[in-house]
Structure 1
Amino acid sequence: MQGIVYRSTGSWYTVKTAAGGQYQARIKGVFKIDEDITSTNPIAVGDVVEIMPETGENGIAVITDIAPRKNYIVRTSPHRRTQKHIVAANLDQAMLICTIKEPRTSRGFIDRFLVTAAAYHIPAILVFNKKDILKAKDLDKFLELEAVYTAIGYPVLLVSAVKEEGMEEIRALLHNKVTLMSGHSGVGKSSLINQLLPGLELRTKEVSGWSGKGLHTTTFAEMFDLPVETGGQLIDTPGVREFGIVDIPKTELSHYFLEMQPYITQCQFNNCLHINEPGCAVKAAVEEGEIDAERYISYATILETIEEEKY
């Protein structure tokens, strides 16, 4: 019997079948999935699995196999820095919820997320929430970011979950797709999901006053079916404080800064890292304003991290 993993809590998985059945399933014994994938979680939300209901146990099943993944997205494990954690599998797109303030989402965090999505061939969308609390200078900052990322080709929205502004635009982007939703704790991700899924009532908390950082309200990844008129599924993930890059060699990093791609082949050296090499077309494009300087700084910062962590 085949089903899709909707929820993962570590040792137990909620699996839904095409017929609408729901099982609490576990892995029996050693479960080897893929020689090339070593992660802290062998099965992720979004995985298509084979299950065998247990005799005499109503709603309990054993996972016996996993179908090949279309794709998956990973980050460094929150518990083991040297290992990776599969956030979700079989995605059509990834949506990052950001905020200009309370808390502020850094450019570095956004760029790390976009690099990871690009590396796994997952289209990404940037949604800036809390429009209702922005003042003139904050709106200017948003417009600056919007100009940078839309020029690269990323859809960018400004919404307010509290005021229900921009929700139709989000629904249009989610239509009939499997979408991963991620972001820092406190950006209003749960509030947005509550608007998209009436009656769900995910727990929400205010941003911590003393630290300016959000408080965690989601503790594990979970998939939800969107209303029939929207179609598709939404995967909610725990709020992340940072998004660690894994499995990207430093020589490949520039390929995942999409605006750098047209210039990479024009560099004097094939293995150019776009830092100190002569004849670098990427650096020339930065100097001429064709590549945003802040994006280039993000690239250089991430490159240093990769060198330190030796991925």
Structure 2
Amino acid sequence: MTSASKGLVIRNTGNSYLVRDVDGNEFISKAKGNLRLKGIRSTSPVVVGDIVFLDVYPDGTAFIKEIEDRKNYIVRKASNLSKHAHILAANIDLALLCITVRFPETTTVFIDRFLMTAEAYSVPVYLIFNKIDLYDDEDDRDYLDALINLYSTIGFTCLKTSMSTGEGVEELIKATTHKVVLLAGHSGVGKSTIINTLRGKQVQKVGDISSYHSKGMHTTTYSEMIDLQNGGMVIDTPGIKGFGTIDMKVDEVSHYFPEIFKFSKKCKYNNCLHLTEPECAVVKAVEDHYISESRYHSYLNIMEDIGGSKYRV
């Protein structure tokens, strides 16, 4: 005889899920074979952050039979060739994109792709500019300040942090209190150190920076939700190389670039894609420096993806 239970998915290791019920009991669970998500071509039907309904057997085995409707989720492409989505996490109160300008460098294209994806799936984002204590070079500091000025002017919340000196830690604790938070970014940007700081103890292995392209060594190989001291929970994800466009039409992309969408209302043609059309207010705004060239480059990069079914980082 089975018993029914409701719980939160706190770890995903492939075909196995760790689910915590309302009483704090944890079950290693499998998804039933007929479990599918409506309208989503996903590599996995269940992800960290999902609220699920279980059938629990007397021997302790458990099967996920249903997923509660998600308030949001965030995705990336599963592979270079796949048209399926890989859902990173669901039911997110806040996403923190961890960024470094060196060791390794986070490109503006990567930042903009993440922001577009989060906007498309209704996930609020803070940009965390981490490891600021390492930037001894004046050019690095100037570039950091320019990035923060760019994104804060658009309307994104930006935090400068250093887990070594403690700068920005209090703001980070406040932002994550009693929230389900997704922590994303390239390998090597300091995600594990941020989690250890918020947790108050070492729970995540900290990776080294490999000499090859100054890339970080992966220390997280699966998605996991970790309890924080402030009542929040953070979802750590494996280092992400890039974001593709998932089932997005070319005329929708500009909606997820706030400053481009603002100027698009002044274009001569309602169906203007802001590429080569005459009297395009967006192109004019780029020329007049009201829209940054880097943001417009990211927009063109994404538009090229959709037109050619490509996948870029």
Give the TM-score of the pair, scaled to structure 1. 0.94
For 1:29, what is the secondary structure of its paired residue? coil
Q: Deviations over 1:152-178 (max 9, x none)?
A: 111111111233321111111112221
Q: Is the 8 A contact 2:98 2:183 kept in 1?
A: yes
Task: Look up the SS of the partner of 2:238 in the other structure.
Answer: coil
Counterpart code for 1:49: V
Cα RMSD of the aligned pairs, angstroms, is 1.5
In structure 2, distance between residues paired with 1:187 and 1:263: 34
Matched with 2:149 is 147
* Structure 1: distance between partners of 2:140 and 2:80: 35
Q: Deviations over 1:30-68 (max 9, x none)?
A: 21231x1110010111000001211223xx311111111
User: For residue 158 of structure 1, what is the amino acid of its counterpart?
Assistant: K
Taking only the aligned residue pairs, the percentage that are identical comes to 43
Q: Moved runs in structure 1, 4+ residues, more than 6 A?
A: none
Tell me whether 290-299 or 138-147 shows the greater mean CA deviation.
Answer: 290-299
Cα distance, 1:201 vs. partner? Answer: 2.4
Distance 2:271 2:106 in 1: 32
Please list the CA deviations of residues 237-284 of structure 1 after superposition, one character each: whole Å capped at 9, or x if unmatched.
000122222122111101101112222222111221101001211112
For residues 99-143 of structure 1, what are the alpha-carbon distances to aligned partners after superposition, in whole Å with 9 as ceiling and x for unaligned? 010001111110110110011111111101111110222111110
Judge which range, 5-14 or 73-82, deviates more: 73-82
- Equivalent in the alignment of 1:134: 135
1:42 is the counterpart of 2:54: no
Residue 27 (structure 1) shift: 1.3
Structure 2: how far apart are the matches of 1:295 and 1:28? 43
Q: 5 Å matches for 1:150-299?
A: 150-227=152-229, 230-299=230-299
The Cα offsets for residues 5-30 of structure 1, whole Å up to 9 and x where unpaired, read as 00001111011111111111111322
Q: Which letter does structure 2 place at the counterpart of 1:50? A: F
| Shift of residue 219, structure 1, vs aligned partner | 0.5
Partner of 1:101: 102
Aligned partners of 2:267 and 2:279 also within 8 Å: yes
For 1:97, give the aligned amino acid: C
- CA–CA separation in structure 1 for the residues paired with 2:245 and 2:188: 22
Q: CA deviation at 1:183?
A: 0.3
State the distance in 1 between where 2:142 and 2:252 align: 33
Deviations 1:204-259 (A, max 9, x none): 111101331111110111111221xx222111100012222212211110110111
The separation in 2 between residues aligned to 1:305 and 1:80, in whole angstroms, is: 12
Unaligned runs of 5+ in 1: none
**Match of residue 15 from structure 2:** 11
Residue 79 (structure 1) shift: 7.3
Q: Is the 8 A contact 1:69 1:89 kept in 2?
A: yes
Does the CA contact (< 8 Å) of 2:83 and 2:246 recur in 1? Answer: no
**Number of residues of Structure 1 aligned to a counterpart in Structure 2:** 306
Q: CA deviation at 1:70?
A: 0.6
Report the 3-state secondary structure (helix = DSSP H, G, I; strand = E; otherwise coil) of the residue aligned with 1:96. strand
Residues 1:310 and 1:183: Cα distance change in structure 2 (over 3 Å): closer
Closer, same or farther: CA 218–10 of 1 in aligned 2, 3 Å: same
State whether residues 162 and 191 of structure 1, in contact with CA within 8 Å, keep that contact through their aligned partners in structure 2.
Answer: no
Distance in 2 between the 1:174 and 1:251 partners?
34
The Cα shift of 1:80 comes to 5.3
**Separation in 2, partners of 1:147, 1:53:** 52
